Amino acid sequence: MTATAPENKQPIFNMDKIYVKDLSLEIPHAPKIFMERDPPQVDIQLHTQASSLEEGVFEVLVMATVTAKIKEKIMFLIEIKQAGIFQIRNVPTNELEPILGVMCPNILFPFLREAVSDVAVRGGFTSILLNPINFEGIYQQQKQQLAQAASTTTH
């Protein structure tokens, strides 16, 4: 008897593990920076990445760099890689990319947000509350950029 066709199998989506893969806090101008009274300007850079660990198992990363400055002085710099291991099986190939680029980062972001706030507080600063992120928009923008890059290289 032959194995059942893939279309007869139920899709599987499991979160196996959520963890902080890398985390750093730098306070280059401590202790004098704590004497500053001006509110800092906070800049946040965010990226996502997905890689296959084995058949149907993926590691997804949401990486953030949070830089707080007062004038030109860096108040603090937090770099974090929030990671998750996800089992994704029996999903059509065209649906896998949005799962890895949108759904998984949406699951990981609250953990990253909490870790950034916790590290800022432990560093002696007020809590940093990152605004919600539209990973769908980021994913669509990346797709457009890739399509534009492909069209300029083919012309």
Between 5 and 154, the higher pLDDT residue: 154
Q: Stretch 42-60: mean pLDDT, rounded?
A: 95
What is residue 20's predicted lDDT score, i.e. its pLDDT? 98
Query: Residues 56, 85: contact at Cβ < 8 Å?
Result: no
What is the CATH classification number for the domain harbouring 121?
Answer: 3.10.420.10
Q: What is the mean pLDDT of the chain?
A: 92
The total of structural domains in the chain comes to 1
Is 143 a member of any domain?
Answer: yes
Is position 56 within any domain? Answer: yes
User: Is 22 among the domain residues?
Assistant: yes
Q: How confident is the model at residue 155 (pLDDT cuts 50, 70, 90)?
A: low
Domain membership of residue 20 as a residue range = 7-154
Interval 94-134: pLDDT, tens: 999 999 999 999 999 999 999 999 999 999 999 998 999 99
The pLDDT assigned to 4 comes to 46
Let me know if residue 1 belongs to a domain. no
Q: What's the number of CA atoms in the CB half-sphere (13 Å) around residue 80?
A: 25
Q: Has residue 2 been placed in a domain?
A: no
Please say whether the beta carbons of 80 and 63 come within 8 A. yes
Q: Does residue 35 lie within any of the structural domains?
A: yes
pLDDT band at 154 (very low <50, low <70, confident <90, very high): low
Has residue 39 been placed in a domain? yes
pLDDT confidence of residue 7:
53
